[in-house]
Amino acid sequence: MRVVTRHLAKEILISTGFILISLVLLIAFFDLVGQAKNIGSRYDFGTALFLTALKLPSRLYEVMPIAALLGGVYTLSRWAANSEFTILRVAGLSPMRLAGMLLVPALVLIAMTYALGEWVTPAADKMRGEMRTILLKSTLTARGYASGVWVKDTVRDGRAGDVTMRFVNVHNLIAGEDSRTGAWRVFEFNDKGDLVRILHAPEANYIPRSGWHLKDATVEGLPRVTRDENPMVEASTFRKGVDLMLPSDMRPDILGVLTIKPERMGIAELWSYIGHLRETRQTTERYEVALWTKIFYPIAIFVMLAVAMPFAYLNVRSGGVSIRIFIGLMIGISFYALNNIFAFMGILNTWPAMVVAPLPSLIMLVLASAAMWIVERR
């Protein structure tokens, strides 16, 4: 069976490759058409092609399970039509053995998908975002916030034991420069929740192991709040043109995360940012759903190949290869829709991310098992 396994894996990988190229090129065409309003006015056609090419890794990642499903359906249906699969069944091929054979191409495609999602897609999306920012003369700001990036930062003084909580607003990031930003506004609170200082700075630089250097900053010091009947005697302070070093564990990559969709980030980036959110006691549901979806999404490739298994047990009179490909395409689109629906429902209802992320794959696996049970007993 090793020879048959290698032959089947080769056929599925070749079919999946052709289908993957076809789907991605079709989607890339619509991505290119979507840039029509900027071609000629903001940038030329060559730049538009390059921007479209930078989006290809994310498109490959998104359609990989659907391509694997269609590649499996096409290969198994063709083997059934040529009676190759009938001979294998007569020779004692069981559904469990077939699933083991499908695991070989699945592992290859899963490894490729993890590599795309973890390294290639985040880098390409970051480059594409910076290029669009420069070409369209816009700024890199947090998604959904016109005022810029908002970050909560907690700083603990190891000697005194004091805790300082800051709410930091960075107006924009500088495209192509990881350690320099635009204007800053900082609202600083003590451990009792009193606002003690407000900082304004037109720009800032990050210095490793030291913090953020705020240039030409304006510092407003507020008087200490008293909680008794004694009158407040302290005066507020106001200083301009101050070069200030702000100690902080908030690295530039934490700010950069907020300009990217969680779905476009790698597993390591999501894990690091979720740790930051937990440390500063912020909500993490959206990023946790994105993290676990990233973990389970490539594994869905094996589930999609399992969904393709019943097509091998159908005889030729059950429909031609083209009809089966169409049915497989509908199943793939349904899986993609289920994945998005459960992701949104999980965020809205704060369902456990570890349950929400694998649920679409589990549903498809149950349906594939039911279909196998039916075709085996026909």
Domain boundaries along the sequence of the chain: 2-137+286-376, 149-258
Quick one: pLDDT at residue 320?
A: 76
The Cα-based distances of 20 to 23, 60, 149, 361, 375 in angstroms read 5, 7, 37, 20, 28
The Cα-based distances of 151 to 85, 169, 220, 226, 358 in angstroms read 58, 7, 20, 28, 30
% of residues, the chain, pLDDT over 70 = 91
pLDDT tens digit string along 181-199? 889 999 999 888 889 999 9
Q: List the structure tokens of 137.
A: 């003369």
What region, left, alpha or beta, does residue 211 occupy, with left being phi > 0 and alpha being psi -120 to 50 degrees?
left
Quick one: pLDDT at residue 105?
A: 97
The Cα-based distances of 356 to 18, 246, 271 in angstroms read 32, 40, 17
pLDDT tens digit string along 317-330? 555 788 889 999 99
Quick one: pLDDT at residue 1?
A: 75
> Which of 22-36, 51-65, 270-284 has the lowest average pLDDT?
270-284
Whole-angstrom distance, CA of residue 82 vs CA of residue 316: 9
- 254-258: average pLDDT: 78
Whole-angstrom distance, CA of residue 351 vs CA of residue 343: 9
pLDDT tens digit string along 112-164? 999 999 999 999 998 898 888 778 766 666 555 667 788 888 887 766 567 88
Which pTM value belongs to this model? 0.86
Quick one: pLDDT at residue 175?
A: 66
Cβ–Cβ under 8 Å, residues 286 and 262? yes
pLDDT tens digit string along 77-103? 999 888 888 888 888 899 999 999 999
